[in-house]
Structure 1
Amino acid sequence: MDGDANMAGGDDGAAMELDDMKKRLKEMEDEAVALREMQAKVEKEMGSVQDPAAAAASQANREEVDSRSVFVGNVDYSCTPEEVQQHFQGCGTVNRVTIRTTKYGQPKGYAYVEFLEPEAVQEALLLNESELHGRQLKISAKRTNVPGMKVFRPPRPNPYMGFRPRSAYMPTYFYPPYGYGKVPRFRMPMRYSPYY
């Protein structure tokens, strides 16, 4: 008789546990529906990016901004945006100075200067090879990046193969068996000598 009571109590515990799991599953499903609705709302707000007309408008806006900007190369690593702005102040009104950095925050050595008026770009190009912090700046008009267009980079020469391009038959890393510039040495084979 006691065994039957234990079985019934065990069934009640399992049923309660099953009900709790069903409640948690229902809560998780409701939460997932709410997240999907929020994501759809955000995508709707950001949907202008996927709209072809809006994408063309943003591309045209980017080209218009790039037509008012210059690329400045060979910028000293200790240069601040204020110093670059001051250097280009005579060309026109500087809207923004962007000094590119690595993911660690170290400057890459080049910058972009955006002006308010497009005529200032021609004035800025006259400052090519001017000095800032003792370095000659390389100034050119900023080009517009075209999405999906890759820049062709020719293959680098391999020091072990000369300037020949890689072929399907040549391994990527080819090392001479005895090291670079070494000639194989021929030695007498080692022999066992008990009296030596």
Structure 2
Amino acid sequence: MGEIAMEGDVEMAAAEEAAVVELGDMKKRLKEMEDEAAALREIQAKVEKEMGAVQDPATDAASQANKEEVDSRSIFVGNVDYSCTPEEVQQRFESCGTVNRVTIRTNKFGQPKGYAYVEFLEPEAVQEALLLNESELHGRQLKVSSKRTNVPGMKQFRPRRPSSYMGFRGRTPYVAPYLYPHGFGKVPRFRMPMRYSPYF
């Protein structure tokens, strides 16, 4: 009996020792996780600080003024043939002034959208370029206009239709309930009867 009791005590001691070791491992892992969380918080604070520096109102105002200055020297060219290259568009508008950059807009698949932006070095070149409106390139009439500046946060306003256009002055007409015995607007469905299948 004494030997059995001693064996039980040894097993309990071994189990307690294993539990202590496991607890130590868990504490170690918890410490590592806390260190990682602290490092992540540090990185996040640094990124937020950098973002705050980028969103500085003075910097935003300067970049907006710079955009407006560039847009005052740029034109929008619509109805551009899909096979047109930036070099061909540049040659078309070189007579107006020094072309700084030509941008042909593309979709996410890299296919041209059919319009381009041309930026000149001189603001006076824009007026010369507007004279080339409805001139032809690759058999298409170009639509040339001065580029407008996009104001951040300002979307194009679309007026809502008055409710009288929606039929019945915006209200749903009354329909007698006996026309819909299965509930308003519901159409009875005819389903196939379920068959017994032992494998599903």
Query: What code does the residue aligned with 2:25 have?
Result: D
Is 1:135 aligned with 2:116?
A: no
> 1:169 aligns to what?
171
- Aligned-residue CA RMSD (Å): 2.6
Q: How many residues align?
A: 165
Structure 2 vs 1, CA of residues 68 and 168 (structure 1 numbering), >3 Å: closer, same or farther? same
Q: How far does the alpha carbon of each residue in 1:73-126 deviate from its partner, in whole angstroms, 9 at most, with x for none?
A: 111112222222222222222222221122222211111111122111111111
Distance in 2 between the 1:169 and 1:15 partners? Answer: 73
Distance in 1 between the 2:115 and 2:166 partners? Answer: 31
> 1:174 aligns to what?
none
**Greater shift in the superposed pair: 47-56 or 32-41:** 32-41
Give the unaligned 5+ runs of structure 1: 157-162, 172-196
Query: What code does the residue aligned with 1:13 have?
Result: A
Distance in 1 between the 2:29 and 2:170 partners? Answer: 57
* Higher helix fraction (1 or 2): 2
**TM-score, normalised to structure 2's length?**
0.71
> 2:42 aligns to what?
37
Query: What code does the residue aligned with 1:124 have?
Result: A
Q: Does the 8 A contact of 1:155 with 1:165 survive in 2? A: no
Q: CA deviation at 1:168?
A: 4.7
Q: CA deviation at 1:132?
A: 1.4
Percent identity for Structure 1 against Structure 2: 79
Give the unaligned 5+ runs of structure 2: 1-5, 174-200
Structure 2 vs 1, CA of residues 3 and 155 (structure 1 numbering), >3 Å: closer, same or farther? same
Distance in 2 between the 1:66 and 1:170 partners? Answer: 49
Picking from 83, 95, 103, the partner of 2:100 is 95
Q: Does the 8 A contact of 1:99 with 1:110 survive in 2? A: yes
Q: How far does the alpha carbon of each residue in 1:11-48 deviate from its partner, in whole angstroms, 9 at most, with x for none?
A: 33233233223223322332333333334334444433
Distance in 2 between the 1:54 and 1:35 partners? Answer: 28
**Greater shift in the superposed pair: 61-70 or 96-105:** 96-105
Distance in 2 between the 1:168 and 1:13 partners? Answer: 74
Q: CA deviation at 1:127?
A: 1.2
Tell me the secondary structure at the aligned position of residue 164 of structure 1: helix
Picking from 17, 22, 25, the partner of 1:17 is 22
> 2:88 aligns to what?
83
> 1:105 aligns to what?
110
Structure 2 vs 1, CA of residues 98 and 165 (structure 1 numbering), >3 Å: closer, same or farther? farther
Structure 2 vs 1, CA of residues 153 and 107 (structure 1 numbering), >3 Å: closer, same or farther? farther
Structure 2 vs 1, CA of residues 165 and 34 (structure 1 numbering), >3 Å: closer, same or farther? same
Distance in 2 between the 1:114 and 1:124 partners? Answer: 11
> 2:122 aligns to what?
117
